[in-house]
Amino acid sequence: MLKKTKKIVIAGHVDHGKSTLIGRLLLDTNSLPAARLSEIEKIARESGKDLELAFLVDQLKEERRRKMTIDTTQTNFKWKEKNYTLIDAPGHKELIKNMLTGASMAESAILIIDAQQGLKEQTRRHAYLIKMLGIKQLIVVLNKMDLLDYRFKDFKKLNARLLSFLKALGIRPYCVIPLSAKEGENIVSLSKRMPWYRGEFLLQALDNMQPAQKEGKKPLRFCVQDTYQSGKEKIILGKVLSGSIKKNQRAVVMPSFKKIKIKAIRVYKEKRARAAAGESIGLIIRPALHIRRGGIISHPASPLMPRHKFNSRIFWLSAKPLRTQRHAFLRILAQEACCSVEKITQRINSTTLAMLAKESKELRLNEVAQVSWETKQPLLMENFSFIEELGRFVVESKNSLLGIGIITE
Amino acid sequence: MDHLSELENKTIFLVREAYARFRNIALLWSIGKDSTTLLWIARKAFFGKIPFPIIHIDTSFKFPEIYAFRKKYVKIWGLDLIVCKNLPALKAKVSPEQTKYTCCNSLKTEALKIGLKKYGFKALLLAIRRDEHGIRAKERYFSPRNAHFKWNYQNQPAEIWDFYQSRAAQGEHLRIHPMLHWSELDVWRYIQREKIPAVKLYFSAGGKRYRSIGCAPCCKPINSDADTIGKIIHELKTTKEAERSGRAQDKEDIYNMQRLRSLGYM
């Protein structure tokens, strides 16, 4: 059986070397098609400059001209028979939505820091967002050690500051690696130029870092996407988010409280006895009700109760603040609703973590707060820490993202 | 769940999401391995019968094997096929004799514009993958195009978790890419697992095979003895050649693909 791919986002401040590190990993794991390498060699020759590894991922003309990643990209490599997807995330302040687009697809992260420059605004913000997105596995790399002549003294000083910052965020990194993406030190083998470092080199750390164990059994949550008429049969299309669903079991549909029986589980032409979390399947139910998109099917013994009030943590991305006693448009899984902002508390600056106000009437760009909501329309959700897919939401206006949220209670 | 099943489940989810959201959609079928795989998964997602039309953009320069494959499987799979052609351009003798850029833009992108105008589709399913090309790696799963087909790649919508752009503004349509996360090797392994038929051109004959197919004048075969899916998979594990290295439109200029795609090319 083929192993799953590890998806890793590379986060950090602009110019700290995210794209260069990805280029280096592709190069040193021998993952590049000949044409891609010769393309950047040609650019280097024609411009009379050093080989620009970042151009391997920064493929837009504008990105190369401005020497800056504009949008997130993904690229694959293989090392020791294991597959990895690297997600490059822009480090520019104005491009947080693109960083989130990349990071929200990752299960682990590399936070990269220019060892000469130390912790900068986006280093701190990205670290906060990694934590908020629920990414539990983190490797920190202190890049550009070549500019510090690979000195232990400088590494030690920065490492201490870094660890105390991460501790304040409640993050325990898997490891901290001093390296040079440009020179290829501590990437595929231990660097001879930093004999004082006895930890793991980057690829070794990526290989050894284990995904967080999924705790315990979760109740059945099946999310309804659509109802589809296939010949004479009405099939409920959707995805098992957690737990498992069995043929002939009794179930309850929320928010309508309707009781049903699962007559059959259909996966293409197969008739299945059971389906598990992660599967996109079809259900034939009795009675053959029409179920609205966004509905959740669960076991009658552990139903998901609709809610009219909930608390969340919000990261705000819009120049227009979120205000109390106003409405906002929320999407939670396949549900959409206008919700009213009841309270904004613990408003903090997402880079310094400084408390801006214990209670506030508004939440501004790049700030984080606890927000309590009320809704007339009953909504289905779980705490993010319990079932992630049911515990996360976005605040939107006309197709544009204003904020992201996770449900805390 | 194994790797291929995980990829397949995500694609099924995305295809169903596209249909649930927009209803008036179509799937773009170039009859290459990727879009045939997408079509296969769409059949699985809807239990054998795809509830929307399939579009083939016909430049009239495709390989004869492609037309034969189309004819055969439209019937076997019961597809609602729409063939889109840019007739005025074909009449004016647009061909790869001009620049590849002009030809691709006119016979593919413009042909699609004509079709979209006629049928008013709100969204199109396409089988592009991130690992095919650096520009395609920048794509979203749900990617808007304005009335002129322009792709605003410098300011794409956010796509956080599973929240995809769910509405298309007047005149706009969405390009939906349910296989963005697949690699070339994944596709062949899946074709092997599912026993999906593929155009003969992919298999070695006389020491050569095509790794990527499209219009006959603009595709070059590679040297290869891979005449079975197993051998193709073995070959791909070790090759240093890029998948689209035989495709002329990618090569005219480093940024040709970016320019073509910004104007609505697939």
pLDDT tens sequence across B175-226? 999 999 999 999 999 999 999 999 999 999 999 999 999 999 999 999 999 9
Residues of chain A contacting residue B240, judged by C-beta atoms under 8 Å apart: 32-34
How many angstroms away from the CA of A56 is the closest CA of chain B? Answer: 8
Query: Average pLDDT for residues B136-160, to the nearest whole number?
Result: 93
Using a CB–CB cutoff of 8 Å, tell me whether B3 touches chain A.
yes
* Extents of the domains making up chain B: 3-183+252-262
Query: Average pLDDT for residues B102-110, to the nearest whole number?
Result: 93
Q: In this predicted structure, what is the pLDDT of residue A349?
A: 94
Model confidence at B240, in pLDDT bands (50, 70, 90)?
confident
Query: Average pLDDT for residues A358-366, to the nearest whole number?
Result: 97
What percent of chain A is predicted at pLDDT more than 70? 99
Mean pLDDT of chain A: 94
Centroid of chain to Cα A102: 7
Question: Alpha-carbon distance A132 to A142, whole Å?
Answer: 22
ipTM value for the complex: 0.93
**Cα distance from N-terminal residue to C-terminal residue, chain B:** 31
- When CB atoms are compared, the residue of B138, B163, B255 closest to A394 is B163
Residues of chain A contacting residue B10, judged by C-beta atoms under 8 Å apart: 280
Question: Alpha-carbon distance B265 to B259, whole Å?
Answer: 9
Q: Is the pLDDT of residue A390 over 80?
A: yes
* Extents of the domains making up chain A: 6-208, 221-298, 307-407
Q: Check B161 against A279: CB less than 8 A apart.
A: no
- When CB atoms are compared, the residue of A1, A3, A226 closest to B16 is A226
Least confident of A95-109, A211-225, A254-268, A328-342: A211-225
Residues of chain A contacting residue B153, judged by C-beta atoms under 8 Å apart: 60, 71
Q: Is the pLDDT of residue A57 over 90?
A: no
Question: Alpha-carbon distance A151 to A251, whole Å?
Answer: 63
3-state class (DSSP) for residue A208: helix
Q: Is the pLDDT of residue B49 over 90?
A: yes
Q: In this predicted structure, what is the pLDDT of residue A332?
A: 97
How many inter-chain contacts (A to B, CB under 8 Å) are there? 140
Q: Check A404 against B160: CB less than 8 A apart.
A: yes
Q: Is the pLDDT of residue A403 over 90?
A: yes
How many angstroms away from the CA of B161 is the closest CA of chain A? Answer: 5
Give the CATH number of domain A221-298; options: 3.20.20.70, 2.170.140.10, 3.50.50.60, 2.40.30.10.
2.40.30.10
Residue of A nearest to B243 (CA): A33
Number of C-beta neighbours around residue B120 at 10 A:
8
Model confidence at A198, in pLDDT bands (50, 70, 90)?
very high
Number of C-beta neighbours around residue A208 at 10 A:
10
Least confident of A320-329, A350-359, B7-16, B71-80: A350-359
Window 57-96 of B: residues touching A by CB (8 A cutoff) are none
Query: Average pLDDT for residues B253-260, to the nearest whole number?
Result: 84
- CATH topology for A6-208? Rossmann fold (3.40.50)
- When CB atoms are compared, the residue of A32, A228, A399 closest to B157 is A399
pLDDT top residue among B54 and B168 = B54
Q: Is the pLDDT of residue A195 over 80?
A: yes
Q: In this predicted structure, what is the pLDDT of residue A328?
A: 97
Model confidence at A56, in pLDDT bands (50, 70, 90)?
confident
Q: Which of B159, B192, B193 to mutate to test the interface with A (most CBs of A within 10 A)?
A: B159
User: Which residues are within 8 A (CB) of B162 and not within 5 positions of it... i.e. 6 or more apart?
Assistant: A333, A389
Question: Alpha-carbon distance B171 to B122, whole Å?
Answer: 9
Centroid of chain to Cα B163: 23
Query: Average pLDDT for residues B20-48, to the nearest whole number?
Result: 97
- When CB atoms are compared, the residue of A57, A62, A279 closest to B9 is A279
Q: Check A60 against B240: CB less than 8 A apart.
A: no
Residue of A nearest to B4 (CA): A2
Q: In this predicted structure, what is the pLDDT of residue A214?
A: 67
How many angstroms away from the CA of B157 is the closest CA of chain A? Answer: 7
Q: Is the pLDDT of residue A273 over 70?
A: yes
Least confident of A48-52, A118-122, A382-386, B168-172: A48-52
Model confidence at A52, in pLDDT bands (50, 70, 90)?
confident
CATH placement of domain A307-407:
2.40.30.10
- When CB atoms are compared, the residue of B13, B43, B165 closest to A280 is B13
How many angstroms away from the CA of B253 is the closest CA of chain A? Answer: 11
- When CB atoms are compared, the residue of A98, A100, A226 closest to B19 is A226
Least confident of A262-266, A274-278, B245-249: B245-249
pLDDT top residue among B122 and A351 = B122
What percent of chain A is predicted at pLDDT more than 90? 80
Q: Check A399 against B165: CB less than 8 A apart.
A: yes
Q: Check A239 against B134: CB less than 8 A apart.
A: no
Q: Which of A9, A88, A265, A268 to mutate to test the interface with B (most CBs of B within 10 A)?
A: A268
How many angstroms away from the CA of A33 is the closest CA of chain B? Answer: 5
Question: Alpha-carbon distance B171 to A98, whole Å?
Answer: 25
Which stretches within A133-194 are classed as H helix?
A: 152-169
Q: Is the pLDDT of residue B50 over 90?
A: yes
- DSSP 8-class letter at A247: T
Q: What is the 3-state secondary structure (H, E, C) of A81-125?
A: CEEEEEEECCCCHHHHHHHHHHHCCCCEEEEEEECCCCCCHHHHH
Q: Is the pLDDT of residue B33 over 90?
A: yes
Window 121-150 of B: residues touching A by CB (8 A cutoff) are 130-131, 134-135, 137-138, 140, 144
Model confidence at A215, in pLDDT bands (50, 70, 90)?
low
Q: What share of chain B is helix, strand, coil (3-state, %, to 5)?
A: 45, 10, 45
Question: Alpha-carbon distance B22 to B174, whole Å?
Answer: 9
Q: Is the pLDDT of residue B134 over 90?
A: no
Q: Is the pLDDT of residue B265 over 80?
A: yes
Least confident of A65-69, A257-261, B12-16: A65-69
> Encoding tokens for residue B139?
């794509």
Using a CB–CB cutoff of 8 Å, tell me whether B211 touches chain A.
no
Q: Is the pLDDT of residue B13 over 70?
A: yes
Instruction: Let me know how many helices (H) and strands (E) chain B has, helices first.
Output: 9, 8
> Encoding tokens for residue A165?
């910052």
Least confident of A183-197, A205-219, B27-41: A205-219
User: CA-based Rg of chain A, rounded to a whole angstrom?
Assistant: 24
Locus of tokens 């290869």: B224
Residues of chain B contacting residue A293, judged by C-beta atoms under 8 Å apart: 20
The superfamily CATH assigns to domain B3-183+252-262 is HUPs (3.40.50.620)
Q: Is the pLDDT of residue A117 over 90?
A: yes
Q: Is the pLDDT of residue A229 over 90?
A: yes
Q: Check A399 against B169: CB less than 8 A apart.
A: yes
**Cα distance from N-terminal residue to C-terminal residue, chain A:** 39
Using a CB–CB cutoff of 8 Å, tell me whether B189 touches chain A.
yes
Q: Check B157 against A401: CB less than 8 A apart.
A: yes
Residue of B nearest to A317 (CA): B158
Q: In this predicted structure, what is the pLDDT of residue A385?
A: 93
Q: Decide whether A6-208 matches A307-407 in CATH topology.
A: no
- When CB atoms are compared, the residue of B3, B9, B163 closest to A278 is B9
Q: In this predicted structure, what is the pLDDT of residue A2?
A: 65
How many angstroms away from the CA of B122 is the closest CA of chain A? Answer: 15
Instruction: Summarize pLDDT for A142-174 with one digit per residue, the tens.
Output: 999 999 999 999 999 999 999 999 999 999 999
